[in-house]
Structure 1
Amino acid sequence: MSQVHVKRKRADWSDKNLGIFLKVRVEEVRAGNRPHIHFTRTGWANIQAKFNNATKLAYDYKKFKNKWDHLKVDWALWTKLNARESGLGWDATKRTVAASDEWWEAKIKDSLEVGKFRDEAKWKILGSMPSYDLKTQNKIITACMALHNFIRRNDRRWRRRK
C-alpha cells in the first residue's frame, strides 16, 4: 500500500501575525496557563483559538511550537551577537545592529549563523523598542528574567504541588 504525502502549507509569519502570536502568548501567561516553563493544554488551545480567530488562519499546535522553537534559537544567536559589546548603534532602516564591516566579519567568522542578522531585518519587532543603547537593553532583559525567576521561586502559585 502506498502512502500519499500531503505537502503542508507554509505558515505566514508576517510582522502582524508574529505580533498577534506573541500577544496571545503573553495573555495566556498572565491568565496562569503557563504554570512552569510550558503551557498547559488549555493554554495552547487558547493560543490556537485566539490567534486563528484574529488572523482568520487555521494553524495547529505544531506550527506554533515550531515558530516558538525557531524564535528561541534566533534569540540565543541575537544575544550571543550582542554579548559584552559596547559602542554599537541601531540601524533603524535595516532594523539590526549598526556596526562596521570589520565587526560584522569578525562576528560571522566566529559564528556563521549570526550572519543572518547583518542585512535582513530579522528582528523587525525590535524596531519599535525604546531607543536605549544595546547594553542597556540587555540589562533590562536580564533584570526581567531575574525578576521572573525570583517570582517563580518565591510565589506559592508557581511552586509544584506535591
Structure 2
Amino acid sequence: MDNPEIIDKAAWNKEMLHVFCDLCIKAIDMGMRPNTHFDKASWKYLQTSFKEITDHAFIKAQLKNKWDGCKKDWRIWTKLISETGVGWSAELETISASDEWWKIKIQEIRGAKKFRQAGIEPSLRLKFDRMFTNIVATG
C-alpha cells in the first residue's frame, strides 16, 4: 500500500492535465489498454511516469477519478457540439447558442451547465478524442 504521507492531494492544473492525457495516450499506443480499461500494470506506469514528470505523487484512485471525470466531460461536450444550428464563441471559447437552447440542453444533459461559460480547449479535445473514442458510446 502507498504511504499516505507522501501522497499529494489531487489538485489539478492545466499543465498536469495535459501531462496526464499525454501519458494515457502513450500507454494506449503502447498497448497498455487491451480493452476499455487500463490494467494494474498500466496504472502503475501512469503513476510512476506522472510523478517523474510533475513531481506529484497521485495514487491510482486519484488518476482513475481524473480519467473518469475527463471521460464524462468529453461525453457531454461531444453531445453538445454535435447539435445543429449552434455556433462558436471565440470570446468564451464555447458554444454560441441562444439562452433558450442552453436552457433546454442543461435540462436534457446532466453536467452541460459547466460548458455554458467555457468549453474544452481544442488541443485537449483532440487528446480526449484519442483517449475515449471507440471505448464509449456517445449516443
Q: Residue in 1 aligned with 2:66? A: 67
Partner of 2:80: 81
Q: 1:145 to 1:61 in 2, by over 3 A?
A: closer
The count of aligned residue pairs is 126
Counting only pairs closer than 5 Å after superposition, residues 96-135 of structure 1 correspond to structure 2 as: 96-119=94-117, 121-123=118-120, 125-126=121-122
Q: Gaps spanning 5+ residues in structure 1: where?
A: 1-5, 131-140, 149-162
* Distance in 2, Cα, partners of 1:116 & 1:70: 13
Q: TM-score, normalised by structure 2?
A: 0.74
The 8 Å contact of residues 95 and 126 in structure 1, kept in 2 or not, is answered as no
Q: Which structure 2 segments of 5+ residues have no match?
A: none
2:111 is paired with a residue of what secondary structure?
helix
Q: Is the 8 A contact 1:78 1:114 kept in 2?
A: yes
2:47 matches 1:51: no
8 A Cα contact 2:89 2:96, kept in partner: yes
Distance in 1 between residues matched to 2:31 and 2:9, nearest whole Å: 30
Distance 2:90 2:125 in 1: 11
SS in 1 for 2:36: coil
CA apart distance, 1:129 = 6.5
Shift, 1:93, TM fit: 3.0
Q: What do residues 91-120 of structure 1 show as CA deviations (whole Å, max 9, x unaligned)?
A: 23322111122211222233453111101x
Q: Note the alpha carbon deviations across 1:19-67, whole angstroms, 9 max, x for none.
A: 1000000111111111121212221111111111111111110100011
Query: Once the two structures are aligned, what percentage of the paired residues are identical?
Result: 35
Q: Distance in 1 between matches of 2:37 and 2:124?
A: 27
Instruction: Determine whether 1:25 maps to 2:21.
Output: no
CA RMSD of the aligned region, Å?
Answer: 2.8
Give the Cα separation in 2 of the matches to 1:128 and 1:33: 21
Aligned residue number for residue 92 of structure 2: 94
Alpha-carbon distance in 1 for matches of 2:11, 2:74: 20
Q: Which amino acid aligns with 1:23?
A: D
Structure 2: distance between partners of 1:38 and 1:52: 21
What is the distance in 2 between the residues matched to 1:86 and 1:68? Answer: 28
Structure-2 separation of matches of 1:126 and 1:103: 22
* Counterpart residue identity of residue 66, structure 2: K
